[in-house]
């Protein structure tokens, strides 16, 4: 397959090049810090940022939240999420 963007850096505003399933946990940080989170299902995601602040986001299925979360907490999270890197 030809990739005309193979030599281009994706940067902060470019498209993601990898994705991974997120398993919420109250004790374990994400294995990879994502550039954004994609809501596979509608619901709530309780996210921790790099300062340790936890905030709940209510979103619809298909929404992209451009937040580089450190952790997705299991307590309070009802949505299924995918991380984009």
The answer to whether residue 57 sits within a structural domain is: yes
The answer to whether residue 77 sits within a structural domain is: yes
From 77, 82, 39, select the one nearest 61 (Cα to Cα): 39
pLDDT of residue 13: 73
Q: How many domains does the chain have?
A: 1
The answer to whether residue 3 sits within a structural domain is: no
- Domain range spanning residue 26? 19-84
The answer to whether residue 4 sits within a structural domain is: no
pTM above 0.75, yes or no: yes
The answer to whether residue 53 sits within a structural domain is: yes
Q: Which residues of 52-84 are buried (b: 16+ CB within 10 A; e: fewer)?
A: eeeeebebeeeeeeeebbbbbbeeebebbbbbb
pLDDT digits (tens, 9 = 90+) for 20-52: 999 999 999 999 999 999 999 999 999 999 999
Strands 64-65 and 71-73: unpaired
Backbone angles phi, psi at 46, to 5 degrees: -95, 115
């Amino acid at each position: 397959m030809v990739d005309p963007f193979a030599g281009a850096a994706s940067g902060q505003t470019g498209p993601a090049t990898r994705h991974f399933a997120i398993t919420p946990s109250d004790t374990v940080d994400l294995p990879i810090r994502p550039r954004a989170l994609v809501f596979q299902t509608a619901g709530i995601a309780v996210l921790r940022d790099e300062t340790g602040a936890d905030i709940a986001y209510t979103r619809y299925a298909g929404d992209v939240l451009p937040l580089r979360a450190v952790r997705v907490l299991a307590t309070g999270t009802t949505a299924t999420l995918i991380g984009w890197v």
